[in-house]
């Protein structure tokens, strides 16, 4: 086959085509490898961020070798969690949580990007007060030279508008001008600045006419912003109690508190083995019982409850319909006597201790509070007729609350009206009456479950109702006799 033959020409052309295709394949392979590398790097970056947050929140989380089930608590994002734990507990720069009762500190540093992310979430929630707190911290760390993927322009964009929403026009103008000095082409900032300056001019004219806005003057003082109005009238007292800053009883009142053995008014079941009873508060009378539940019983109750746990609900005061609420963050389930002999045994033990019948009581409720889990101040008794599906009659006469775990930090049961703080102690139980003998609600018994700062909190409780207990008030009463 000569070089000039058609066959030679065809073979040469085929060889060049194959070489070209092979070259294309080689380049395609290189592109594929590069794409895979970029994809892996992107995924590693995402994983790194998740790992970073996990490490930072580990100091605050309920995960531990001794308490892995803490993760059963209702999942919430970091912003909502920290907000519930209350900014007053936190130094944002190092995210320090301190348990006032033990002095234990839990520390974890947050980056500029972390603070920005928290501030952005607050902004999206319409919470401009916490937006400012987080964005100011992000800006502070950025100004100090900390490396960040977020720019100062992005921080100032959110911060300036949030400050404006808090009625601080002068600082909003100052921050917006700083933003524009960094990015003169920022269209939204330019529009905002013109709008802010127009409002400032109106304010200046109003001052001349002696019509200064009271809101602007009262809401802002030296760049420090007032906390927004709260729906909880006892917010400050409640949070102080949760921090361990409770009311201290006078020596005279303390002398009225005693420890004793309790046999349920000579109940045959308790004569041989009475329970240790201790007065926690005198008026209203709150008592604690020791060694009410064994470790084995606690584990069995938790085992039965876990598959049934669901986000806890509250009854809407207007509609009477059960719904979830941000002020109650926990998971709960209800156990019946036929679920296991342990449940029946515990129910009857509570009946023996209190002298109140379980026939008209509600089912045993089991609740799990993870990190940040709480139930803000509320009454156990109701001013509305109870749901007939509960198969109970009358109002909630009394509360019997079992502590099924110790809590490393936080988680106290507090009574803001009179200043009592009762701390969880595994195996113990507290008891109080919610109603006076007349059947009227005792409004002093408004109480709360403080946020869990570190660890996990398990409780179970029985609500005894009026019917069947009209003439029985052998234990506790509302006053110390």
> pLDDT by residue (tens digit) across 1-25?
555 565 555 555 556 566 566 666 7
Structure tokens at 122: 């607050």
Task: Give Cα 311 distance to the centre of its chain.
Answer: 13
Is the per-residue pLDDT at 398 higher than 70? Answer: yes
* 65-83: pLDDT as tens digits: 333 444 333 334 455 666 6
Angle separating helix axes 152-165 and 112-124, nearest 10 degrees: 40
Angle, CA of 469, 471 and 473, to the nearest 5°: 80
CB 446 within 8 A of CB 417: yes
* 447-468: pLDDT as tens digits: 999 988 778 899 999 999 998 8
CA distance 308 to 121: 31
* 159-211: pLDDT as tens digits: 999 999 988 999 999 999 999 999 999 999 999 999 999 998 888 888 877 75
Residue with tokens 């201290």: 248
Which pLDDT score, from 0 to 100, does residue 122 have?
82
Which pLDDT score, from 0 to 100, does residue 56 have?
52
Buried b (16+ CB within 10 A) or exposed e, 76-101: bebbbbbbbbbeebbebeebebbbee
Which pLDDT score, from 0 to 100, does residue 211 have?
55
pTM of the complete model beyond 0.75? no
CA distance 226 to 209: 27
Which pLDDT score, from 0 to 100, does residue 301 have?
97
Which pLDDT score, from 0 to 100, does residue 325 have?
75
Structure tokens at 178: 């700083």
User: CA-CA distances (angstroms) from residue 105 to 94, 372, 460?
Assistant: 11, 16, 29
CA-nearest of 284, 232, 241 to 442 is 284
* Other Cβ atoms within 10 Å of 327 Cβ, number: 14
Buried b (16+ CB within 10 A) or exposed e, 43-65: eeeeeeeeeebeebbeebbbbee
CB 453 within 8 A of CB 97: yes
Q: Which residues, in sequence order, are CB contacts of 347 under 8 Å at separation 6+?
A: 337, 358, 361, 364, 462
Q: How confident is the model at residue 35 (pLDDT cuts 50, 70, 90)?
A: confident
CB 284 within 8 A of CB 478: yes
Is the per-residue pLDDT at 441 higher than 50? Answer: yes
CA-nearest of 415, 476, 477, 479 to 260 is 476
Mean pLDDT score of the chain:
80
Torsion of CA 342, 451, 286, 366, to 10 degrees: -20
CB 102 within 8 A of CB 118: no
* Other Cβ atoms within 10 Å of 365 Cβ, number: 17
Which pLDDT score, from 0 to 100, does residue 51 have?
55
Structure tokens at 477: 């009463």
Q: Which residues, in sequence order, are CB contacts of 47 under 8 Å at separation 6+?
A: none
CA distance 313 to 309: 12
CA-nearest of 213, 143, 219 to 178 is 143
Is the per-residue pLDDT at 340 higher than 70? Answer: yes
Percent of the chain surpassing pLDDT 70: 71
Which one has a higher pLDDT value, 113 or 344? 344
Q: Which residues, in sequence order, are CB contacts of 408 under 8 Å at separation 6+?
A: 99, 104, 453, 454, 455
Which pLDDT score, from 0 to 100, does residue 480 have?
44
Which pLDDT score, from 0 to 100, does residue 98 have?
46
Q: What helix, strand, coil percent values describe the chain, rounded to 5?
A: 40, 20, 40
* 113-154: pLDDT as tens digits: 888 988 888 888 788 888 898 899 899 999 999 999 999 999
Cβ-in-10-Å burial (0-12, 13-18, 19+) of 364 comes to: buried
């Amino acid at each position: 086959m000569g070089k000039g033959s058609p066959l030679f020409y065809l073979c040469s052309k085929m060889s060049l085509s194959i070489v070209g295709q092979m070259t294309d394949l080689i380049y395609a392979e290189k592109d594929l490898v590069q794409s895979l590398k970029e994809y892996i790097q992107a995924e590693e970056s995402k994983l790194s961020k998740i790992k970073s947050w996990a490490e930072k929140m580990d100091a605050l989380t309920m995960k531990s070798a001794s308490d892995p089930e803490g993760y059963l608590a209702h999942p919430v994002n970091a912003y909502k969690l920290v907000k519930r734990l209350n900014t007053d507990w936190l130094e944002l720069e190092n995210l320090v949580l301190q348990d006032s009762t033990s002095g234990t500190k839990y520390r974890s540093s947050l980056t500029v990007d972390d603070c920005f992310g928290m501030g952005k979430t607050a902004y999206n929630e319409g919470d401009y007060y916490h937006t400012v707190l987080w964005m100011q911290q992000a800006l502070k760390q950025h100004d100090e030279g900390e490396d960040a993927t977020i720019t100062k322009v992005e921080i100032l964009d959110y911060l300036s508008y949030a400050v404006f929403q808090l009625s601080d026009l002068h600082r909003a103008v100052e921050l917006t001008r700083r933003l524009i000095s960094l990015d003169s082409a920022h269209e939204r900032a330019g529009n905002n600045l013109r709008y802010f300056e127009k409002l400032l001019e109106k304010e200046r004219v109003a001052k001349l006419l002696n019509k200064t806005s009271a809101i602007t003057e009262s809401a802002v003082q030296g760049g420090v912003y007032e906390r927004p109005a709260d729906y909880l009238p006892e917010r400050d007292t409640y949070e102080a109690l949760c921090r361990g800053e409770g009311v201290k009883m006078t020596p005279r009142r303390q002398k009225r508190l005693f420890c004793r053995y309790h046999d349920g008014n000579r109940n045959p079941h308790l004569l041989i083995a009475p329970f240790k009873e201790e007065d926690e508060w005198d008026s209203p009378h709150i008592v604690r019982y020791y060694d009410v539940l064994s470790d084995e019983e606690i584990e069995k109750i938790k085992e039965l409850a876990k598959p049934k746990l669901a986000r806890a609900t509250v009854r809407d005061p207007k509609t009477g319909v059960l719904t979830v609420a941000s002020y109650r963050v926990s998971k709960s389930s209800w156990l019946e006597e036929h679920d296991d002999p342990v449940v029946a045994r515990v129910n009857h033990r509570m009946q023996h201790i209190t002298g109140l019948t379980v026939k008209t009581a509600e089912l045993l409720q089991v609740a799990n509070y993870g990190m940040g889990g709480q139930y803000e101040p509320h009454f156990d008794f109701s001013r509305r007729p109870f749901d007939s599906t509960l198969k109970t009659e009358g109002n909630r006469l009394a509360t019997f609350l079992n502590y099924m775990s110790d809590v490393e930090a936080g988680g106290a049961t507090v009574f803001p009206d009179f200043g009592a703080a009762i701390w969880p102690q595994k195996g113990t139980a507290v008891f109080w009456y919610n109603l006076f003998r007349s059947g009227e609600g005792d409004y002093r018994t408004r109480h709360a479950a403080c946020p869990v700062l570190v660890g996990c909190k398990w409780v179970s409780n029985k609500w005894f109702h009026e019917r069947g207990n009209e003439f029985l008030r052998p234990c506790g009463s509302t006053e110390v006799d």
